[in-house]
Amino acid sequence: MKRRRFILAVSFVAVLSVGMIQACGYQSDTASVTINLGHQQQAALEKTSIFDRFLAFITLSTRLEAEPPAFPQSIYAILLTVSGPGMTDVNRSFERSEIDTGKVTIDVPAGDARTFTVVALVQWEDETPTRDYGGISTVNLSPGGQSISIQVGDLPFPPTGISPSRTSNQQAVPFNYVSWDGADPGEVTGYHVYRSSSETGTFVRIATVPNPGLASAPFVEDYAIDEQIIYWYKVSGYNSFGEGDASTPLPDNW
């Protein structure tokens, strides 16, 4: 696999601002969120930004004190999801041209417990873009100016050794037993298990399993099945930075 991995402990800053609705006499409940990247962040702080250091690190550049490095060509897109109580999730994909401007802006409903989830899609040569880096931050978002920091780090690789199989218990009740290889607890907190009735259908999360570590194989027993249907399963790992790519789907008659 040509995908590169790095240990990251970096941040970028999202600067939040919201306008006043003067005619109505109250504050808007919508914040205009600007995420500064690269040159814009350096200009604002008059020094090399944390995000510039992130860019320099993943491009293996050691020159941090002068001009910030160009946004790495391996970054294909930035995905951002904002969720929270009482709001509809905000999902945005910022493509290459938008990233190169140095900042991106979205509107976010103000309120408590707004969770910002960032994923950096990375593309090496002609490979399919992968979810290599991510970060999560939950904040109480009030109307008006506000800034947040999101720590960015490695997302887990797709789990290996996926093995779905049809079996039954002692009472002859059929179920699907799905197991896979464990991983280093320092890299993977747990796993999400997804199921579909076809390889290309909609996969629904059916379970979340804590990572037992390298000594044992995590597994799921899926009793919510129809014996006449072949089910497909895939598994993804997650950690404090977010959820990584899922494994290739496999059927229960594998």
Q: Is 172 left (phi over 0), alpha (psi -120 to 50) or beta?
A: left
Quick one: 83 and 196 in the same domain?
A: no
CATH number of residue 78's parent domain = 2.60.40
Nearest CA to 4 out of 153, 124, 125 is that of 124
Same domain, 191 and 70: no
Tell me: do 90 and 144 sit in the same domain.
Answer: yes
Q: What is the pLDDT of residues 157-206, one digit of tens each?
A: 999 999 999 999 999 999 999 999 999 999 999 999 999 999 999 999 99
- Tokens standing for 97? 């041209």
Could you give the CA distance from residue 227 to residue 215 in angstroms, rounded to a whole number?
32
More confident residue, 34 or 58: 34
Question: How many domains does the chain contain in total?
Answer: 2
Task: Decide if 38 is inside a domain.
Answer: yes
Question: Is residue 185 a part of any domain in this protein?
Answer: yes
In angstroms, how far is CA 84 from the centroid of its own chain?
16
73 and 198 share a domain? no
pLDDT greater at residue 96 or residue 212? 212
37 and 143 inside one domain: yes
Same domain, 140 and 171: no
pLDDT in tens, 9-51: 334 444 433 343 334 434 458 877 766 543 323 333 334 444 5
Whether residue 118 sits in one domain with residue 23: yes
* Weakest-pLDDT range from 32-41, 97-106, 152-161, 226-235: 32-41
How far is Cα 137 from Cα 146, in angstroms, rounded to an integer? 14
Extract the tokens encoding 173.
Answer: 């009740």
